Amino acid sequence: MSESRVLLSMATLQNAQQTIKSEDGVMFTIDCSVVMYSEYMRGMLEDRVGVDDVVVADMEVVGEKRKAVDVTAPDIISLPYTAEMLEIVFNFLRKHHEFQKDDTLVMERKKWESEFLKVPESMSLDVFFMVLHMADFMDIPPLKELWNSEWGNITKVLDTPEKLRIYFNLPDDLTQEQKQAIENENKFEIIPYTP
């Protein structure tokens, strides 16, 4: 792997691009200002310039010390996810960055997010949970919040074991006796309150 000597500051990093490699070898070139919504990736980029050089608020540079740090940094960052999965996350990050630049797009953002959340209907639950895992691993607060909210909405509807089995396509492998035993173990009696 080729490494280069670079002289960076946070301001130049905001306008730079980062190459990211998926586990299946696909390369992505993403603006650093977009990648910085991932706290994990942000930490990697900040390591390239030195943490002491960065003063950041709400993902935007608000100040910079004048010293730049000479560091040795890898040109490519590898992530343990497939290109298909990274594309979903990077699309979210790009769009989120777009909406962050213009506060007047609040309604458009909400509409786009609701469309983005419809993705699970066209993909398997494995992909849905992998995006949730990626949001957690890459520490992307807006994606975690959005995806967890959607998962909460889904589980509100799945309020019985039968609905869970149907939704997750799980076999009903309990015998009638086992079901009755579980029901008896978890039976409770409502005792009226008497003052």
The whole-angstrom separation of Cα 141 and Cα 107 is 20
Helices first, then strands: H and E counts in the chain: 10, 7
pLDDT higher for 174 or 102? 174
Q: Is residue 163 part of a domain?
A: no
pLDDT higher for 28 or 194? 28
Q: Is residue 63 part of a domain?
A: yes
Q: Is residue 167 part of a domain?
A: no
Residue 90 pLDDT? 92
Q: Is residue 32 part of a domain?
A: yes
Domain count, the chain: 1
What are the phi and psi torsion angles at 192 (to 5°)?
A: -65, 145
C-alpha radius of gyration, the chain, whole number: 23
> pTM for the whole thing?
0.66
Residue 36 near residue 58 (C-beta atoms within 8 A): no
Residue 49 pLDDT? 64
Residue 125 near residue 134 (C-beta atoms within 8 A): no
Q: Is residue 187 part of a domain?
A: no
Q: Is residue 193 part of a domain?
A: no
Average of per-residue pLDDT across 135-144? 91
**pLDDT tier for residue 71 given thresholds of 50, 70 and 90:** very low
Q: Can you give the length of the chain in residues?
A: 195
**pLDDT tier for residue 156 given thresholds of 50, 70 and 90:** confident
Decide if pLDDT at 52 tops 50.
Answer: no
Residue 128 pLDDT? 78
DSSP string, 101-156: H-GGGHHHHHHHHHHHTTHHHHS-HHHHHHHHHHHHHTT-HHHHHHHHHHHHHHHH
Residue 26 pLDDT? 92
What are the phi and psi torsion angles at 152 (to 5°)?
A: -60, -40
Decide if pLDDT at 32 tops 80.
Answer: yes
**Domain CATH for 136:** 3.30.710.10
Residue 11 pLDDT? 55
What residue type is assigned to position 7 of the chain?
A: L
**pLDDT tier for residue 15 given thresholds of 50, 70 and 90:** low
Q: Is residue 131 part of a domain?
A: yes
pLDDT of 76-95, one tens digit each?
888 999 998 999 899 999 98
Mean pLDDT estimate for the chain? 75
Range of the domain at 31: 3-157
Q: Is residue 186 part of a domain?
A: no
Decide if pLDDT at 134 tops 50.
Answer: yes
Angle in degrees, 0-180, between the axes of helices 125-137 and 83-101, rounded to the nearest 10: 60
